[in-house]
Amino acid sequence: MDALISEAAVRLLWTRIPAAGVYYLGPPMATAVIVLAALFLAIALGFIYYVILRAPWRTQRRSLSLPPGPRGNRFSGIPNEVLNIQPWRKYAEWAEEFQSPVIHLRTFNRTIIVLNSSTSIKDLLVKRASIYSDRPFSWMYYDICGRGKTVFNISSMDKRHGVYRKVLDRGINRRGNVPGDVGKGGSEGGSGSYWGLLEEEVEVLVDRIMKDPEGYEKHFRHNSASVIMKLAYGYSIKENDPFLKLAEESARISGWALAPGKWLVDYYPILRFLPTWLPGPLTEFKRLGQHWKQRMDLFSDVPHEWVKGQMASGSYIESFTSRLLRDIQEKSASHPQPGHREEDRITEDIIKWCAVGLHAGAADTTVCALTSFILLMALHPQVKKRVQAEIDEIEFIGEGELPRVRIRDLPKLKYLKAVMKEVLRYAPIGNLVCELNGSLALPHKVIQEDVYMGYRIPKDATVLANVWAIMHDPTLYPDPFTFNPDRFFNLGVDSPKSEDALLSDPYTTTKPVQQVNPDPRNFAFGFGKRVCPGIQFAETSLLLCMASILSRMDISLPVASKDIHQVPKIDFTTGLTSHIKPFPIEIQRRR
Ligand code: HEM
């Protein structure tokens, strides 16, 4: 019997080569042995790395402790459920509990440092931007789904990062960079820039809201998609647009793939070597990731190829993509410039990823700001009336025409600018650049070990700026939960020079931040080498939409009984971006 069993075992494990009369390990067994050997080797290497190479005694800094913070579960650290809803409040509470603006927590094997004060944010993310501007690596999203080259995710140490920033800056921040047919008929400065495009699209927005006031959020979304698709690709969106569907699908997939704590491979990257063909739930992430990669590649490639097709046909609308593609074609046709560094070279791939970045950056952000704005105007009729009075003082061109606010008029609307700042402060869009709940999903990563306030900040730690805590810090913004644009208007916060310059740049790195009521744009648009490249575009677009809406429409709370308004409680959404949760309002034609 024993002999029979061992014979069967031999047959199962070994395959015989009859001609030679020898045995070798059969394919299933050989694979199992290889996988086990690989696992064993990985564990051994991991052990050597953690226990010997990263041993605490290797640096003196190691004797310093991490910033204080909650302990959480021994294996997984702080569970996600704790942070699923408005985590920025939880972080602010912990900062208070541990009496430190800088706190630390852990999810699985990842250290997360949360900065809850403007000083710590400035000291680390701005002044030490050279080491605090990387992004934490998500193996699922960057590697398996192939999104590591996007503008948002590319490592700050990758040479492409600098090229992306230059290309985006040239493409959206300098006037005259989107020349040609788009937005013909815009006001001065408009033709030859995105001004005309914004002015044209805001008319469509106002018209849509007047026809369907209840769908204002949907109309904001349509407006931002329409503007950015024209800007990036010269493409006009239609109802049920296929490109937009791809964009939406891609955003949804990004949310899933970046979902915190969901993919073990993000914390134990060795798992990415598991072969896809290995059946079972352990390798499901690889099959899913490969499918998602295909879908998201479509979103990056299809509009880009569409522009190339249009250019080849000779009839196309000038856009960010077409202009840059033409530039590189012309450059390659002429002789390469001597001394031109290879790493600065703009390639087609770079243009493609930058255009995708424009879309990803603009799609949701201005929508959130405008949604909060509309709701706040309904809640604060005295603010709304003051903005309207300011707009009414502008001399509109064209007799008998409906008054149309032009971008060139915006610098005159100083109170509106204070309102925009207060909207960005009161209802910050990227409350917290956070990987735990995905909110704006833009955490930073520190690339070398550092010391701050006597605490050790370990290399590769994820660093989050709790923007919400800063925007509601009573020492910075007295009475922070009151919506009060006057805090920026009456106190002489802006120098006359910067107040006059609509497209002023308050984001230069080490400029001292105003002690009380500092410009919230210093925090709302991110930090260091990652600061939002779309700031000027976003501001122009926001101010134009806000002015155009209030010049033609009245926004109020519904009257419950004769004089009593139902005052809704303000709450915020938690998601990729955040805004005030909608409550019933009424929008009526003003003239
Ligand atoms: C109110 C509107 C907007 C707000 C509040 C906003 C805010 C932000 C924030 C907080 C970041 C992350 C910065 C960091 O990691 O420190 C960011 C990044 C970015 N934004 Fe914006 N943004 C807005 C509009 C736009 C627009 C309209 C565009 C494009 C036209 C844009 C393009 C981008 C891009 C490409 C990045 C990635 C930069 C990088 O990782 O290097 N954003 N934005």
CA 553 → CA 407, 549, 591, distances in Å? 19, 6, 7
CA 411 → CA 188, 405, 548, distances in Å? 14, 11, 14
* Residue 192 pLDDT class (50, 70, 90 cuts): very low
Give the rounded distance of the alpha carbon of 61 from its chain centre: 33
Kindly report the protein residue whose alpha carbon is nearest to atom 34 of ligand 1: 361
* Ligand 1 neighbourhood includes 356 CB (under 6 angstroms): no
* Residue 579 pLDDT class (50, 70, 90 cuts): confident
Q: How many residues does the chain have?
A: 591
- For the cut 50, the answer to whether the pLDDT of residue 587 exceeds it is yes
Rounded average pLDDT over 63-73: 90
Most confident of 175-189, 427-441, 552-566: 552-566
Rounded average pLDDT over 113-135: 95
Q: Which of 569, 538, 505 is CA-nearest to residue 430?
A: 538
Lowest mean pLDDT among 121-130, 272-281, 561-570: 561-570
Of 508 and 151, more confident: 151
Q: Looking at residue 185, what is its pLDDT?
A: 31
Map tokens 């190479």 to a residue.
Answer: 53
Measure 541 CA to ligand 1 centroid, in angstroms: 14
Q: Looking at residue 374, what is its pLDDT?
A: 95
* Ligand 1 neighbourhood includes 151 CB (under 6 angstroms): yes
- Give me 431's structure tokens: 């409350």
Kindly report the protein residue whose alpha carbon is nearest to atom 40 of ligand 1: 152
Pocket test for ligand 1, best of 525, 527, 543 (most atoms within 8 A of CB): 525
- For the cut 90, the answer to whether the pLDDT of residue 30 exceeds it is no
* Ligand 1 neighbourhood includes 530 CB (under 6 angstroms): yes
Rounded average pLDDT over 367-392: 94
* Pairwise CA distance, residues 264 & 410, whole Å: 50
**What is the DSSP secondary structure assignment for residue 123, as one 8-state letter?**
I
- For the cut 70, the answer to whether the pLDDT of residue 62 exceeds it is no
Q: Looking at residue 331, what is its pLDDT?
A: 77
* Beta pairing class for 462-465 and 444-445: antiparallel
* Ligand 1 neighbourhood includes 90 CB (under 6 angstroms): no
* Ligand 1 neighbourhood includes 525 CB (under 6 angstroms): yes
* Pairwise CA distance, residues 535 & 173, whole Å: 8
- For the cut 50, the answer to whether the pLDDT of residue 526 exceeds it is yes
Q: Looking at residue 582, what is its pLDDT?
A: 80
* Ligand 1 neighbourhood includes 171 CB (under 6 angstroms): no
Task: Tell me the per-residue pLDDT of 422-462, one tens digit each, with 9 for 90 and over.
Answer: 999 998 886 544 443 334 447 899 999 999 999 999 999 99
Percent of the chain with pLDDT strictly greater than 70: 74
* Residue 500 pLDDT class (50, 70, 90 cuts): very low
- For the cut 70, the answer to whether the pLDDT of residue 345 exceeds it is yes
Q: Looking at residue 542, what is its pLDDT?
A: 96
Of 429 and 165, more confident: 165
Measure 530 CA to ligand 1 centroid, in angstroms: 8
Q: How many helices (H) and strands (E) does the chain have?
A: 22, 10
Of 82 and 168, more confident: 168
Measure 162 CA to ligand 1 centroid, in angstroms: 16
Give the rounded distance of the alpha carbon of 15 from its chain centre: 55
Lowest mean pLDDT among 43-57, 219-233, 575-589: 43-57
* Ligand 1 neighbourhood includes 443 CB (under 6 angstroms): no
Q: Looking at residue 434, what is its pLDDT?
A: 41
Question: Please, are residues 431 and 576 in contact by the beta-carbon 8 Å criterion?
Answer: no
Kindly report the protein residue whose alpha carbon is nearest to atom 43 of ligand 1: 532
- For the cut 90, the answer to whether the pLDDT of residue 80 exceeds it is no
Map tokens 């302990």 to a residue.
Answer: 71
Q: pTM for this one?
A: 0.82
Kindly report the protein residue whose alpha carbon is nearest to atom 17 of ligand 1: 532
Most confident of 75-79, 396-400, 555-559: 555-559
Kindly report the protein residue whose alpha carbon is nearest to atom 35 of ligand 1: 357
Measure 360 CA to ligand 1 centroid, in angstroms: 9
* Ligand 1 neighbourhood includes 261 CB (under 6 angstroms): no
* Residue 51 pLDDT class (50, 70, 90 cuts): low
Question: Please, are residues 226 and 241 in contact by the beta-carbon 8 Å criterion?
Answer: no
Pocket test for ligand 1, best of 320, 440, 532 (most atoms within 8 A of CB): 532
* Residue 177 pLDDT class (50, 70, 90 cuts): very low
Average pLDDT, the chain: 81
* Pairwise CA distance, residues 292 & 283, whole Å: 15
Q: Looking at residue 259, what is its pLDDT?
A: 76
Q: Which of 13, 187, 116 is CA-nearest to residue 467?
A: 116
- Contact partners, residue 130, CB within 8 Å, separation at least 6: 529
- For the cut 60, the answer to whether the pLDDT of residue 59 exceeds it is no
* Residue 503 pLDDT class (50, 70, 90 cuts): very low
- For the cut 80, the answer to whether the pLDDT of residue 244 exceeds it is yes
Measure 239 CA to ligand 1 centroid, in angstroms: 27
Rounded average pLDDT over 94-121: 92
Q: Which of 517, 519, 522 is CA-nearest to residue 491?
A: 517
Kindly report the protein residue whose alpha carbon is nearest to atom 14 of ligand 1: 526
Q: Looking at residue 145, what is its pLDDT?
A: 95
* Residue 308 pLDDT class (50, 70, 90 cuts): very high
* Ligand 1 neighbourhood includes 527 CB (under 6 angstroms): yes
| ipTM for this model | 0.99
Most confident of 59-68, 131-140, 357-366: 131-140
* Residue 515 pLDDT class (50, 70, 90 cuts): confident
Q: Looking at residue 336, what is its pLDDT?
A: 56
Percent of the chain with pLDDT strictly greater than 90: 51
Lowest mean pLDDT among 222-226, 272-276, 456-460, 509-513: 509-513
Q: Looking at residue 31, what is its pLDDT?
A: 61
Q: Is 532 annotated as a binding residue?
A: yes
